[in-house]
């Protein structure tokens, strides 16, 4: 059978770096082809070559698409032939409606006048295909990330897609939304649409992929065929990192001490709708040296809980008490929360965690400038020493501490954010999705850092949507659903099934 | 007065004011380490080069008048207030905002000064302090709307521009008020007494440059000891050497007329102060963080609202000072004072490499930007170019500078 796409011997060089070196990729018709590799392995570059972001001539090698040489000068060239790429950062216009977004740049129109009948009819049809049950007039800004993702896919379908490329489509989706999305890919497959799926979530890949191509350091390592042999996660990881990873979670002997932080009766209301409680009477305890997990679906109120404790940076109508070392502390503003010994490592490091245009040094000291200053004057030497010390302690890979953080990989950016918070000498660290969008090797390093923090006697609260991660790391796991804590499991009793059961049971109770 | 020893050193005057500090500024990426010049540095060299070209061009077309002591002094007197306002504007722009009202604030404070001193006979010192306080209060009031009520600064200060222009007219009732007491006029028209004979200016410049180079050297040593980014000794010598020569030549040339104008000293002190604040203090660092990513800054415990408020209050105080300098020089206050000043200050910032998106901008760049504008104003007037074409040329230069900046940034990515 003739493949839909063949990329042969693709090489792409940037000044000083060979990003791709003789990469081969073949996608068969109606195939879900997964592309995996650590961050920086060249996945995104390869897809940019394919879609024409890097035009023909700026790379070596050839692309054969549907039997013809594909020489794309830009994205519109490749889109015209049915190659549509959906990026990790969604490209929707928030204040336009679903229908307007679907047909953006491609409006059904006669003489420049938009045919609204056709827009609605086609938008409805496309939305039905992707399972998006909303009015076509709803503004995109009012949709959650999961539904926005569906709008993107509907947009792709409107362009008569033959090869759909999804870059980390489920990175910010909840488990249910992810499952729905993957099911959609399987449906497309039945209709004969091929897709290339880039993802760090290996369990998803092993579920839906027909073949898996592994990239490492810009070269093709292997292509695994899931139909002829069973490919499990460990097998994929072996290809990605080039060695067997015996343990995905570093071993730690927990040394749990006294009660460190206690949150009582914590209730938070929505910042815009004051009558809507997002967090309801939550009670939480953390001991010294303990890693406490908070499991739950997207939108269950975990981030809202964390941010409201951290200086009321979310919500209004907040009530409840926070005690640290037995004494009630004032967490009414962020600087007071920091002073009380709380640090919050955000789930969105690019938007909320880092000043991307600034270098590692300035980001590291930002939350504790007095720590490197005398009388409001920054001592550069001290600051440089502090940043350098964290850089080596965290093993941040960069050209020194003067490198802009925008140029770092996700894992290294996360380490800078962690450095910033460690430099505030927190007693309790709240980590919100600390490994989101980070590759396997860097994840392991982050886990080791988290373990080390607990062993220093700090309390760690870890929010994660990846249950294996919570199970592998935490000493105790709270389960959150619809603003309440609906379960609490010590390590020994925790399992994915138990957590999911707790969530489902609470749903039944709430009707 | 057109011999080359005088001509050449004039070129990077503004680098002389702040160049060496900026050179060792930590924002820039590693330098000698990887053997390339980071873009921040390239931009700075590009600016100095542009200033040099523009200066030489006017020196040539005006037949050497530009560098004559009289004209040089005039240049300083005429443009000092642009530098003063641009320093405040830099902080506002770095914080991610804009202030369109300062031209009107300049006029308002100038009118207030005139009424206080001329009509009511308030003594100049009290009046000056009062005027600065009023300027800060006006800035703070606008800052309150921007910072705490979240109203876009463009709109708040556009309203301020109208309000304070109107209030100026109401205060003056169409009259021109003056003349000012002599003591007050000395702010803009006075010169530092030549207490050490005709070489006073040069001696002062020598003292200043020596201590500057000394400070820079110490700072470099600290960096070298800690493995931070630092110039090679040769580069350090070249930078500081050129700077020193430029400042000394400048002072020598000025001393040939009446010595160092008071306002130059005020300007120099302010430039040094803001250079220090932006690069070395926690408040400066926080303003950059605020402009770079306001959410991340807030989540790092920075009181972003208060900081924004203070930035505007500071801008107001500096606009007030510029108003005082202006009326002291003109010796009269009228309701047309300061029209369009905000544009000069904003242009100086953007020519100097500040980013309209916030988070980026340097004092050294802004000073050079202000000088580029000043020399263009001065040179074009001397060439007899009409004010119509002056505006066109200035507009094109502003656009070209920002285009170049954007081009540089895109090439880096």
Residue A426 has pLDDT above 90, yes or no: yes
Q: Report how far residue B76's alpha carbon sits from residue A16's, in angstroms, rounded to the nearest whole number.
A: 47
Q: What is the pLDDT of residue B412?
A: 55
Q: Report how far residue A365's alpha carbon sits from residue A338's, in angstroms, rounded to the nearest whole number.
A: 13
Cα torsion A78, A84, A89, A91: sign: positive
Q: What is the pLDDT of residue B32?
A: 36
Q: What is the pLDDT of residue A39?
A: 66
For the purposes of burial, counting CB atoms within 10 Å of the CB of A257, is it exposed (0-12), middle (13-18) or buried (19 or more)? exposed
In the block, tokens 């037995």 appear at A326
Indicate left, alpha or beta for A439 from its phi (over 0: left) and psi (-120 to 50: alpha).
Answer: beta
Q: What is the pLDDT of residue A87?
A: 80
| For A344, nearest residue in chain B (alpha carbons) | B299
Mean per-residue pLDDT, A500-508: 77
Residue B22 has pLDDT above 60, yes or no: no
DSSP code string of A334-398: HHHHHHTTEEEE-S-IIIII--TTSBHHHHHHGGGGGGGEETTEE-HHHHHHHHHHHHHHHT--S
Short-list B353, B272, B268, B270, CA closest to B45: B353
- Chain A hits for B226, CB-CB cut-off 8 Å, are 380-381, 384-385, 388
Q: Report how far residue A308's alpha carbon sits from residue A263's, in angstroms, rounded to the nearest whole number.
A: 11
User: Please, which residues bridge with residue A215 across strands?
Assistant: A220
Q: Report how far residue A3's alpha carbon sits from residue A7's, in angstroms, rounded to the nearest whole number.
A: 10
- Residue B41 Cα, gap to closest chain A Cα (Å): 14
pLDDT category of residue B72 using cuts at 50, 70 and 90:
confident
Q: 3-state class of A420 per DSSP?
A: helix
Q: Report how far residue A359's alpha carbon sits from residue A405's, in angstroms, rounded to the nearest whole number.
A: 5
- Chain A hits for B292, CB-CB cut-off 8 Å, are 355-358
Residue B19 has pLDDT above 60, yes or no: no
Short-list A381, A403, A378, CA closest to B278: A378
Q: What is the pLDDT of residue A94?
A: 85
Q: Report how far residue A459's alpha carbon sits from residue A463's, in angstroms, rounded to the nearest whole number.
A: 13
Q: What is the pLDDT of residue A246?
A: 62
- Residue B69 Cα, gap to closest chain A Cα (Å): 39
For the purposes of burial, counting CB atoms within 10 Å of the CB of A336, is it exposed (0-12), middle (13-18) or buried (19 or more)? middle
Residue B23 has pLDDT above 70, yes or no: no
- Chain A hits for B227, CB-CB cut-off 8 Å, are 384, 388
Mean pLDDT of chain A: 87
Within 10 angstroms of residue A435's Cβ, the number of other Cβ atoms is 24
Q: What is the pLDDT of residue B219?
A: 80
What lies within 8 Å, CB to CB, of A347 at 6+ separation is: A303, A432, A433, A436, A463
Q: A450 near A470, Cβ under 8 Å?
A: no
Dihedrals phi, psi of A316, to nearest 5 degrees: -145, 175
DSSP code string of B24-58: T-TTSPP-TTTTS--HHHHHHHHHHHHHHHHHHHH
pLDDT in tens, A297-315: 777 889 999 999 999 988 8
pLDDT category of residue A249 using cuts at 50, 70 and 90:
confident
Short-list B318, B314, B411, B301, CA closest to B370: B318
Q: Report how far residue A474's alpha carbon sits from residue A470's, in angstroms, rounded to the nearest whole number.
A: 5
Q: Report how far residue A358's alpha carbon sits from residue A363's, in angstroms, rounded to the nearest whole number.
A: 7
Q: Report how far residue A509's alpha carbon sits from residue B404's, in angstroms, rounded to the nearest whole number.
A: 63
Q: Report how far residue A262's alpha carbon sits from residue A324's, in angstroms, rounded to the nearest whole number.
A: 6
Short-list B106, B112, B74, CA closest to B88: B106
Q: Report how far residue B230's alpha carbon sits from residue A274's, in angstroms, rounded to the nearest whole number.
A: 54
pTM of the model: 0.79
pLDDT in tens, B382-410: 888 888 998 899 889 888 888 877 777 66
Structure tokens given for A356: 């991307």
In the block, tokens 């009819």 appear at A121
pLDDT category of residue A425 using cuts at 50, 70 and 90:
very high
Q: What is the pLDDT of residue B27?
A: 37
Cα torsion A161, A162, A167, A172: sign: positive
pLDDT category of residue A421 using cuts at 50, 70 and 90:
very high
Answer with the residue of higher pLDDT: A144 or B24.
A144
Least CB–CB distance from A362: residue in B29, B229, B285: B285
- Residue B334 Cα, gap to closest chain A Cα (Å): 41
Q: Are B301 and A334 an interchain contact pair (Cβ–Cβ within 8 Å)?
A: yes
pLDDT in tens, B280-332: 899 999 999 999 999 999 999 999 999 999 999 999 999 999 999 999 999 99
Q: Are B292 and A366 an interchain contact pair (Cβ–Cβ within 8 Å)?
A: no
pLDDT category of residue A15 using cuts at 50, 70 and 90:
low
pLDDT category of residue B215 using cuts at 50, 70 and 90:
confident
Q: What is the pLDDT of residue B125?
A: 93
Q: What is the pLDDT of residue A207?
A: 86
- Chain B hits for A388, CB-CB cut-off 8 Å, are 226-227
Answer with the residue of higher pLDDT: A238 or B138.
B138
The beta strands (E) that lie in A208-298 are given as: 211-216, 219-225, 259-269, 277-287, 291-296
Q: What is the pLDDT of residue B10?
A: 33
- Residue B93 Cα, gap to closest chain A Cα (Å): 15
pLDDT category of residue B30 using cuts at 50, 70 and 90:
very low
Percentage of residues in chain B with pLDDT exceeding 70?
87
Least CB–CB distance from B281: residue in A355, A377, A403: A377
| Proportion of chain A in helix, strand, coil states, percent, rounded to 5 | 35, 25, 35
Residues in B lying within 8 Å of A, measured between beta carbons: 26-30, 33-34, 219, 222-223, 225-229, 280-283, 285-286, 288-289, 292-293, 295-303, 359-360
- Chain A hits for B26, CB-CB cut-off 8 Å, are 359, 361-362, 380, 384, 402
Structure tokens given for B234: 């040769």
| For A16, nearest residue in chain B (alpha carbons) | B34
- Parse chain B into domains and list their residue ranges: 11-190+261-267+311-412
Residue B39 has pLDDT above 60, yes or no: no
DSSP conformational letter for B191: B
Count CA atoms within 13 Å of residue A501 on its CB side. 8
In the block, tokens 């050129």 appear at B242
Q: 3-state class of A192 per DSSP?
A: coil
Dihedrals phi, psi of A417, to nearest 5 degrees: -60, -45
In the block, tokens 């607990």 appear at A454
| For B229, nearest residue in chain A (alpha carbons) | A402
pLDDT category of residue A260 using cuts at 50, 70 and 90:
very high
User: A104-118, A253-267, B327-341 — which is least confidently predicted?
Assistant: A104-118
Q: Are A359 and B302 an interchain contact pair (Cβ–Cβ within 8 Å)?
A: no
Q: What is the pLDDT of residue B59?
A: 86
Least CB–CB distance from A361: residue in B26, B225, B282: B26
Answer with the residue of higher pLDDT: A146 or A471.
A471
Percentage of residues in chain A with pLDDT exceeding 70?
97
Chain A and chain B share a number of CB contacts under 8 A equal to 116
Residues in A lying within 8 Å of B, measured between beta carbons: 310-311, 313, 333-335, 337-338, 344, 346, 351-359, 361-362, 366-367, 369-370, 373, 376-378, 380-381, 384-385, 388, 399-400, 402-404, 420, 424
Dihedrals phi, psi of A114, to nearest 5 degrees: -70, 130
Max Cα distance, chain B (Å): 64
pLDDT in tens, A184-205: 889 889 988 999 999 878 888 8
| For A386, nearest residue in chain B (alpha carbons) | B226
- Chain A hits for B360, CB-CB cut-off 8 Å, are 357
| For B291, nearest residue in chain A (alpha carbons) | A355
Structure tokens given for A385: 């020493």
Q: A151 near A92, Cβ under 8 Å?
A: yes
Q: A154 near A127, Cβ under 8 Å?
A: yes
pLDDT in tens, B323-381: 999 999 999 999 888 898 999 999 999 999 898 888 999 998 999 899 888 888 888 98
Q: A263 near A284, Cβ under 8 Å?
A: yes
pLDDT category of residue B12 using cuts at 50, 70 and 90:
very low
Count CA atoms within 13 Å of residue B108 on its CB side. 28
Q: Are B282 and A376 an interchain contact pair (Cβ–Cβ within 8 Å)?
A: yes
Residue A180 has pLDDT above 70, yes or no: yes
Element (H, E) at A504: helix A496-509
Answer with the residue of higher pLDDT: A339 or B188.
A339
Q: What is the pLDDT of residue B28?
A: 38
Least CB–CB distance from B293: residue in A337, A344, A354: A354
Q: What is the pLDDT of residue A17?
A: 66
Element (H, E) at B9: helix B4-10
Least CB–CB distance from B292: residue in A335, A355, A403: A355
Q: Are B30 and A399 an interchain contact pair (Cβ–Cβ within 8 Å)?
A: yes
Q: Are B297 and A355 an interchain contact pair (Cβ–Cβ within 8 Å)?
A: yes
Residue A274 has pLDDT above 50, yes or no: yes
Distance of alpha carbon A111 from its chain centroid, rounded?
Answer: 42
């Amino acid at each position: 059978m003739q493949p839909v796409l063949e990329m042969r011997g693709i090489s792409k060089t940037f000044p000083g770096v060979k990003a791709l070196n003789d990469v081969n990729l073949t996608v068969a018709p109606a195939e879900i082809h997964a592309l995996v590799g650590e961050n920086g392995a060249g996945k995104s570059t390869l897809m940019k070559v394919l879609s024409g972001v890097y035009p023909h001539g700026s790379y070596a090698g050839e692309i054969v698409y549907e039997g013809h040489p594909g020489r794309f000068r830009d994205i519109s060239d490749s889109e015209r032939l049915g190659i549509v790429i959906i990026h990790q950062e969604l490209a929707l216009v928030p204040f336009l409606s679903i229908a307007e977004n679907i047909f953006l740049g491609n409006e059904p129109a006669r003489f420049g006048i938009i045919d609204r009948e056709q827009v609605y009819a086609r938008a409805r049809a496309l939305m039905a295909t992707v399972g998006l049950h909303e009015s076509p007039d709803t503004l995109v800004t009012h949709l959650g990330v999961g539904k926005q993702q569906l709008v993107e896919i509907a947009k792709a379908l409107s362009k008569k897609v033959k090869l759909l490329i999804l870059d980390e489509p489920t990175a910010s989706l909840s488990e249910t939304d992810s499952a729905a999305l993957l099911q959609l890919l399987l449906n497309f497959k039945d209709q004969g649409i091929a897709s290339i799926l880039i993802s760090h979530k290996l369990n998803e890949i092993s579920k839906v992929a027909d073949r898996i191509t592994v990239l490492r350091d810009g070269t093709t390592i292997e292509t695994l065929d899931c139909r002829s042999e069973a490919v499990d996660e460990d097998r994929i990881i072996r290809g990605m990192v080039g060695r067997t990873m015996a343990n995905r979670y570093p071993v730690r002997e927990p040394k749990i001490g006294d009660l460190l932080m206690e949150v009582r009766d914590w209730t938070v209301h929505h910042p815009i709708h004051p009558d809507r409680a997002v967090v309801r009477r939550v009670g939480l305890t953390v001991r010294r040296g303990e890693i406490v997990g908070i499991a739950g679906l997207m939108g269950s109120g975990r981030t809202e809980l964390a941010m409201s404790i951290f200086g009321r940076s979310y919500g209004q109508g907040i009530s409840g008490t926070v005690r640290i070392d037995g004494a009630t502390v004032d967490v009414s503003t962020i600087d007071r929360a920091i002073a009380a010994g709380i640090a919050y490592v955000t789930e969105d490091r690019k938007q909320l965690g880092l000043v991307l245009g600034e270098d590692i040094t300035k980001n590291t000291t930002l939350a504790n400038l007095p720590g490197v200053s005398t009388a409001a004057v920054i001592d550069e030497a001290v600051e440089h020493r502090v940043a350098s010390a964290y850089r080596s302690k965290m093993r941040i890979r960069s050209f020194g501490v003067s490198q802009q953080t925008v140029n770092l990989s996700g894992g290294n950016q996360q380490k800078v954010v962690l450095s910033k918070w460690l430099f505030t000498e927190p007693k309790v660290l709240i980590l919100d999705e600390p490994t989101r969008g980070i590759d396997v090797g860097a994840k392991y390093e982050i886990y080791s850092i988290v373990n080390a923090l607990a062993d220093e006697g700090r309390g760690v609260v870890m929010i994660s949507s990846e249950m294996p991660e919570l199970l592998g790391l935490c000493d105790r796991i709270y389960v959150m659903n619809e603003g309440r804590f609906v379960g609490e499991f010590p390590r020994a009793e925790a399992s994915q099934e138990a957590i999911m059961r707790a969530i489902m049971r609470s749903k039944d109770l709430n009707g | 007065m057109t011999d080359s020893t005088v001509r050449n050193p004039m070129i990077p005057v503004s680098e002389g004011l702040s160049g060496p500090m900026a050179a060792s500024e930590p924002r820039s990426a590693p330098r000698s380490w990887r053997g390339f010049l980071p873009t921040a540095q390239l931009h700075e060299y590009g600016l100095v080069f542009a200033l040099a070209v523009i200066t030489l061009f006017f020196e040539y077309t005006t037949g050497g008048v530009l560098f004559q002591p009289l004209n040089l002094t005039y240049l300083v007197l005429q443009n000092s207030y642009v530098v003063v306002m641009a320093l405040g504007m830099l902080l506002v722009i770095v914080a991610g905002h804009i202030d369109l009202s300062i031209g009107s604030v300049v006029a308002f404070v100038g009118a207030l000064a005139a009424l206080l001193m001329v009509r009511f006979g308030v003594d100049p010192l009290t009046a000056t302090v009062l005027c600065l306080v009023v300027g800060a209060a006006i800035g703070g009031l606008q800052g309150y709307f921007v910072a705490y009520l979240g109203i876009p600064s463009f709109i708040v200060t556009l309203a301020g521009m109208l309000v304070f222009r109107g209030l100026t007219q109401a205060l003056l009732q169409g009259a021109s008020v003056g003349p000012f007491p002599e003591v007050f006029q000395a702010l803009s028209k006075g010169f530092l007494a030549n207490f050490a004979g005709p070489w006073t200016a040069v001696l002062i410049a020598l003292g200043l440059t020596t201590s500057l180079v000394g400070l820079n050297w110490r700072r470099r040593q600290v960096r070298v000891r800690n493995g931070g980014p630092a110039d090679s000794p040769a580069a350090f010598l070249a930078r500081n050497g050129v700077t020193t020569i430029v400042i000394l030549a400048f002072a020598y040339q000025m001393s040939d007329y009446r010595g160092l104008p008071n306002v130059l000293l005020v300007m120099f002190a302010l430039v040094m102060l803001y250079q220090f604040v932006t690069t070395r203090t926690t408040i400066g660092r926080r303003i950059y963080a605020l402009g770079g990513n306001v959410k991340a800054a807030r989540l790092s415990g920075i009181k972003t609202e208060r900081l924004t408020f203070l930035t505007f209050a500071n801008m107001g105080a500096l606009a007030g000072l510029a108003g005082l300098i202006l009326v002291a020089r003109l010796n009269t206050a009228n309701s047309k004072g300061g029209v369009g000043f905000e544009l000069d200050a904003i242009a100086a910032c953007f020519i100097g490499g500040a980013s309209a998106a916030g988070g980026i901008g340097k004092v050294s760049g802004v000073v050079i930007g202000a000088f580029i504008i000043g020399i263009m104003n001065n040179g074009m007037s001397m060439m007899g170019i009409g004010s119509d074409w002056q505006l066109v040329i200035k507009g094109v230069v502003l656009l070209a500078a920002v285009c170049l900046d954007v081009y540089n940034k895109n090439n880096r990515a």
